[in-house]
Copies of this chain bind each other. A is one copy, B any other.
Amino acid sequence: MKNRITELFKIKYPIIQAGMVWCSGWELASAVSTAGGLGLIGAGSMHPETLSEHIKKCQKATSNPFGVNVPLMYPQVEEIMKIIVDLNVPIVFTSAGNPKAWTEPLQEEGIKVAHVVSSLKFAKKCEEAGVDAIVAEGFEAGGHNGREETTTFCLVPMVSKGISIPLIAAGGIASGRGMLAAMALGAEGVQIGSRFAASVESSASQKFKDLIVGSIEGSTELMLKQLTPVRLIKNKFYDQVKAAELSCANTETLIKLLGNGRAKRGMFEGDLDEGELEIGQVAALIDHVDRAEDILKEIWNEYLLEGKKLGEMIISAKQ
């Protein structure tokens, strides 16, 4: 399959593994890229020297293109970007910040730049800033999220109509059927987080992976809207946040409650009570911890199979 996304990133399948804090190090990113998708190292949870190591290991592990996801609010973003340029990483996904600041400097180094948004308004700003592709991420996605609460089903066609650069859909996608639906809505590729967070190669704690596999509908909720909205699995920490929000706690109280290092504690160290456990609604549809390669193959094969079935049904439909 060839489209603007596979051509842009020089990949076989238009399937991108989301760069996620505490889940997507070199092992996951290289496994996805080797299997023909686009693997992303999540820089958001790494010190600059850690990122440097992960990039080098990823380069040794795969000869295929991979990228780094950089949240632009990251305090040492200049240092991070220097490492990326120096180590010749070909692709950067930026998020959580203004795309104007880094798009041109990175592109001047030959790097392809995609930016993650949760609204059409911001997608248009990204297009103006010259990014090569946009990731539109719906309300159902895990982790940090938009304030408009626009779902993937509404956001993807909205952004697809409003911009002309290639569009990657994210949020709620964990299967070939989900990929097919995203393509039907106007995307040319998909970014998948939760499913890969629960993969063998994910650096997340096994306890967190098991919790994802065991979660059902209603297991997550978008919380901390006063700070930055974030979708969390309901655990003891969630209960504390929920109680605080229901009793109208102010921003200061919520910041104090959140504290520091909870995401690491939960997702990486496996403290399922006190940790901040970021995952998407689609976790309810994830039933196994699989190898990244198998996930990619399964999604691609289901996409082809269901796409053919749907296409044949429609082509044979009487008009």
Contacts and interface: CB of A to CB of B under 8 A. Distances in A.
Given A153-B138, A173-B153, A248-B248, A184 B285 contact: no
A203 B185 CA distance: 30
B314 A303 contact: yes
A139 B180 CA distance: 21
Interface in A271-311: 281-282, 284-285, 303-304, 306-308, 310-311
A277 to B, nearest CB: 17
A313 B304 CA distance: 10
Given A119-B217, A247-B248, A149 B222 contact: yes
Contact of A315 (B154, B183, B308): B308
B181 A281 contact: no
Contacts of A47: none
A284 B319 contact: no
A180 B313 CA distance: 12
A317 interface: yes
A1 interface: yes
A219 to B, nearest CB: 9
A233 interface: no
Interface string A74-110: 0000000000000000000000000000000000000
A281 B154 CA distance: 7
B1 A317 contact: yes
Contacts of A127: none
Contacts of A1: 313, 317-318
Given A158-B285, A303-B314, A308-B315, A217 B150 contact: yes
A186 interface: yes
A201 interface: no
A260 B156 CA distance: 37
A117 B81 CA distance: 48
Interface string A164-192: 00000001110101101111111000000
Given A1-B317, A158-B217, A153 B180 contact: no
A177 B173 contact: no
Nearest to A139: B151
A237 B124 CA distance: 31
- Among all A-B residue pairs, the 6 with the closest Cβ atoms: A311-B311, A307-B314, A153-B172, A148-B218, A181-B181, A248-B248
18 contacts: A1-B313, A1-B318, A119-B218, A120-B217, A139-B140, A140-B153, A151-B153, A153-B172, A178-B185, A181-B181, A181-B184, A183-B310, A184-B184, A184-B307, A184-B310, A248-B248, A308-B311, A311-B314
Given A154-B282, A303-B314, 19 more contacts: A120-B217, A138-B153, A150-B217, A151-B153, A151-B172, A153-B171, A153-B178, A154-B284, A158-B217, A180-B181, A181-B184, A247-B248, A248-B248, A304-B319, A307-B315, A308-B311, A311-B311, A311-B314, A311-B315
